[in-house]
Amino acid sequence: MRAGLLSDHQVIRLVNQHFVCAWVLVDDLKQHAGDDPFAKRLLSNWEYPLDLMFLSAEGEFVAKLNSFRDLPNAHPNVGHHGDPFAREGPSHTEIFSWHARHFLASPKPRSPAPVPNFGEIRGMEAAFRDTRTDSEVTFPVPAAHWKRILSLLLPAEEDEDATPAKWEHAGDLEIELAGGAYFLITLYSVNEGPGAFSSGPTREQQTYYRGGSSAKLERALAAAFKASEGSGGK
């Protein structure tokens, strides 16, 4: 594949202009699939012997080309003249180019909302540093505090230039939704500007946002924790 299709100048130009490419061995995926959702996702979509997968910017599987099914003949650069098993049809470059351009032209999925709809929430657990005791606490957030906490993250805008390495981790919200799904929000403490957080269905699928007020959110979490101590989280 690398000596044939992926060495084609037309393919190289297309890939360099529009894609971020990576090569991974199936054995590596099998080794990490148990604790890495991304590796598990790739492995679950893999077919013998080799796949060219198209993934979204969020790492979601979109489409693929299988070397046996979709690229049946050897590329001219590595094949043998007079191959009795060769089939007529478009070249590997034509097949790949068509699929790549179709992928690029397909409507992109809408960005997820920074927080879930309030009506979908069935439970919420928070973890943050309690300044009264200077210790990390985890507690079930009473339902009466759900709306207040989430509203303090809004309005929020996606931060495409986020630098989370410079942000201080301030806490987490694990939200149970109707149907058993979960939505995770990671909270950060920043020195300037609006608040900062990342959110999504999994840690690997989180999007970074700036919005709300970190100071007000910290006070709201403290109030919810205090209420949970007396109400058992209800």
Residue 48 in tokens: 């013998």
Q: Is 65:71 a contact under the CB 8 Å cutoff? A: yes
DSSP, residue by residue, 7-57: G-HHHHHHHHHH-------HHHHHHHTTT-HHHHHHHHH--SS-EEEEE-T
Region 192-219: what's the mean pLDDT?
89
Compute the distance between CA of residue 33 and CA of residue 198 in angstroms, rounded to an integer.
24
Distances (CA, A) of 217 to 41, 194, 224: 34, 11, 10
pLDDT band at 80 (very low <50, low <70, confident <90, very high): very low
pLDDT band at 163 (very low <50, low <70, confident <90, very high): confident
pLDDT band at 200 (very low <50, low <70, confident <90, very high): very high
HEC sequence for 94-111: HHHHHHHHHHHHCCCCCC
- Where are the domains positioned within the chain? 5-105, 118-231
Lowest mean pLDDT among 53-67, 142-156, 164-178, 207-221: 53-67
The better pLDDT of the pair 224, 81 is held by 224
pLDDT at 134: 81
pLDDT band at 234 (very low <50, low <70, confident <90, very high): low
| Parallel/antiparallel/unpaired status of strands 51-55 and 196-200 | unpaired
pLDDT at 171: 93
What does pLDDT average to over the chain?
85
Tens of pLDDT, residue by residue over 100-157, are 998 888 876 656 789 998 889 999 999 998 877 888 999 999 999 999 999 999 888 8
Please name the CATH architecture into which domain 118-231 falls.
Answer: 2-Layer Sandwich (3.30)
SS3 at position 179: coil
DSSP, residue by residue, 153-175: T-SEEE-TT--GGGSEEEEEEEE
pLDDT band at 166 (very low <50, low <70, confident <90, very high): confident
pLDDT at 82: 45
Region 27-36: what's the mean pLDDT?
91
Q: What letter does residue 230 receive in the DSSP assignment?
A: H
The better pLDDT of the pair 163, 231 is held by 163
pLDDT at 89: 63
Answer whether residue 220 shows pLDDT above 70.
yes
